[in-house]
Structure 1
Amino acid sequence: MGMAAEKDDLGRSSDVYVAFAFAAADVLLETDAEGNTAFAVGAAMALLGRGAKALTGQPLRKIIHPSDQDLLAQSLIQMGKGERVRNVMIRVLLPAEGKAAAVALSGYRHPGNTERLLVALSHPGGLPPMISKRAEGKSGVLDKDSFQAMAASLLEAAPPDEPYQLTLVELPDAQADAETQAALAAELGSRLKSLSVGGDAVGQLDDGKFGVLHAASVSPDKISQSVTQAAKVVMPDAPPMEAKLATLVLDVADIPPEEAARALTYTLNAFARESNNGGNLADLMKDLQPRLSATVKQMNDVRQTVASGDFNLMYQPIVDLWTNVVHHFECLVRFKGNDNKSPYETVAFAEDVGMAGMLDMALLERAIGTMRSSVANTESLRFAVNLSGRTLSDPAVVKKLQAILATTKDLRKRLVFEMTESADVGDLAAVNDVIQAIRKQGHEVCLDDFGAGHAAFHYLRALKVDNVKIDGSYIKDAMKNNENVSFIKAIVQLCTELGVTTTAEYVEDAETANLLKLLKVRFGQGWYFGKPQHPATNDIVTAWKTPTLEWRKGLLYFKG
């Protein structure tokens, strides 16, 4: 390289090298107005099988696989318009005869010269698994589940100021044999991929129905043209084919990027559960757009509630049935303005969209504040805080939980945890490790709602806990239902053998409480002992005194 060329390279805008670092690319190319490589830097030999010098002066298309030329052209057009292109999966030709390799192509227009483009090529290994894996189906595109997974991954990585769009394509019923239909699906799939984010974000959702995730710059006309062109290639003598299109703008700019994918997944899953969408594409998308907007709003509402502390804790006594001493109070959340309304729907929603940990930590910190305040700072008052199974499965939230517990040595023996489970837990072994760490710090752990939903015997086998709370559905009818009594007996016997105590919830009268004593259930919770309530005063002596509770010799007793 001559001195003039070296000086030219050294004098290039620092933005080029900033872009290179930002892209974390293996190779950075600068192309001129004709698409020739004007400058190249990076580990080109390792990625492309040729040195950076060999690329200079050569058309970029020369190293791209013939089947991906359209994809390259579309990407360069987008860059030329000032749009960012990210992680388009494209195949490059290696010097070794007959070999090709997949790389991730990203880029945008040169900030100092609008006629030039900055193109970054990198190894696809760092991309999300669903992005770096090319689909191998009959039509060459993803199936329904894989497409949803890829859409979620791409949506999570997208910048909030450039929302992607999801377009569903429904082909008219074609009077064609299965082989022709398969050929049409393959041809259309290939064309749609050239318009999609990453070059692979296309799925076949059903016969004649496709989904494509794309940038806003890809117009419905471009997608319609792809259908027309694919049909003309496969069925040249047939009339022009017109497809039905419906587009959903995945505008999740109002929530953090890491939550965007959860919003989309929750919305799609909820739609699938609640509707019989047999195939009316227009109705599907008409309903789906407001659902996504509503999901985003609800997620923001939860975040705002947590950030502002706009919630209350109420406390319900759990009584030792054998001594009538109040063992502890369960901390129950009530959202302001809805103090008398069950928070179940909000809590379940937070679990489904991955926000349960945020809510659980806020409730824990509030409970700790109460325990240290003058109204509750005594050894005889213990409190239980709920932790979702999802919370205990989230490493980031567990880390925060551990940090909080490192500051609560003064509350050991007084702070109890209940693992609630309205959603299934995948890795029970990992959750059990967290539970054991909590117990080693002196905190009891209870398994809530035992016998309902997922929280069954395999949970008790996998999770070592101190107490099991029997689901209230078995308690409410225990006086009338012998099968429920048999179930309660079996649970108590099993737990006794395991050294685990039992709690019965929904105890509403003295008759049920007496039956539970006979069945050797240790603790009871329900309106018979007391409703959830706020402390009556700021004085510890009178704060917890109620029509059903009273102090005796420094302990709180149930009067019954």
Structure 2
Amino acid sequence: MPGSFPPPSSPGMAGLRVPSAGSRLMAAGSHRMNASTATKPVPGPREMMPAPARPDTRERLLAFAFAPSDLLVEVDENGLITFAAGAFPSRYGLAPAEAVGTAVERLIAPEDRAAMQAGLAHLALKGRLRPVALRLADRQQSICAFAGLAIGNADCQRFCLTFGPLAAPLPETGARASDAEGFGRIAEARLRDAVAAGRPAQLALLEVEGLAEVSVMLGRESREALLDRISSTIADAAPAGTQSELGGGRWALLHGGEANVETICRAVEALLRERAPASSAPRVTGTELRLAAPGFSTLQQVRALRLALDRFAAAGRAGLAAAGFAKGFSSFLGTLAGQAESLRSRLQRRGFRLAFQPVVALADRRPHHFEALVRPQSGTGAAETPQSFVTLVEAAGLSAELDLAVTKLASDSILATRSTAVAVNVSGMSIQDPSFRTSLEQALDTAPELRGRLLFELTETAEIDDLSAARAAIEALRGRGFAVCLDDFGAGAASLRQIKQFEVDYAKIDGSYMRGAETHPRDRELLAQMADLCRAVGARVIAEQIETEAQAAIAIELGIEFGQGSLFGKPGHLPGLVGR
């Protein structure tokens, strides 16, 4: 019924094999996962294995027989490469045999890994994947046509994948680094790769002072052309890097050390002098953050990167300095320990409030439940975004404390209403923490009236290292009568892996696909594939960031049951509070 969650069920998964991607890279010379072994670099895709004797080898040869591809790969249901052939030496500098045992997603540029995983999920369901445009993780970020065929049976399903040249332009996706959120996710993935491989990573941040005034003089078309030229100039400084316009005259570029921020600033200034009146040519300033921070965990470095981007996008270089980055990335990380106690005290005295956004049934637009969203209250008058507050708490290692405090405040709100249901976020870092699970379960056991009215949204699933611990925590919650939702489904390879690993009641598809579905056919297709996958494992589907009637119509057309976004209501007070 509206305002409550049905008892969690245990949907069967028989007959469905959903691919996943491992996170580790095995050493060179790894053994194959079947009888055949590639022993030397293979310069071209036609140099296949010796004459087949095993049925699985014959199936593979049939699947690859007519594939005009640069790379030929077979992967198991966990997304690990079991066979490789083709131009690995020229693309990646390694022999095909060295790729065996690694995660197939490592072949793809970080910004396209979610799309590749969605394609693998579609392949698991349908048996065949028609060509999709993806970028490889080679130095040139070459665009390829990614296609595949499922072989084997339900007990041992494998996927033969081809990465070939584009015969014709394929549909583009809108899920690119076109805003701070999209760039942040791509940058985080690239930083993780750099930390794992021991490679340098640097973040160049550029701010164009006075761009707004010049834009007004130029008019809309000339302004858009100028912004595109600035983005191109920055991107040209590091072809293998990732850049994005963050808005407000600010840009970011993540690179491996090949770019110089001062050189980029001078190039952008020269471009502006060509386009803008001499009397109003803007000034360009730049900041370089060296992201390598020995002695700190990957998680801490990723959170520090996220906070730096959030503060720079919001307030430029002044925002960076106010957040503690004036002396660099490592210096900021070194101050976290000192901030932990004050942040813990702030959580204990509830230095935040909750805003509640409706999640509606798309069929009639009646609220099904409300999501509790954190809103910081510093009391100092300083500007602080919800993202920067949560990120700082996570970087300081206080995710569990925040999640418990939010759950307690949300529970109090639920009990102050007659029938309203609420969803709270629980981080992947918290869900695998034994002390957090014990404290949460104890709190829930003392409030049985919350059953059916409190839902847990599992966020930041990329941080889950202990899958068995997370699975046990989810089973414990569902066993107590509390529904569980996988949040930001499709935002990265982790969530697509975990839809198989975890039995959940709901899956909320990442909003970037809904934003792109209205204008990009490929995003619409990816959205449909992910909705199909969720339903196949028994999860009810929520589409977030629905802002227009056209987007709502697309969600309904694709059979999505629930929607969330500004079209249905912005975050605010929880309806139905007794005494309001």
Query: TM-score scaled by structure 2?
Result: 0.43
Q: Which has the higher contact order (CA 8 A, sep 6+)?
A: 2
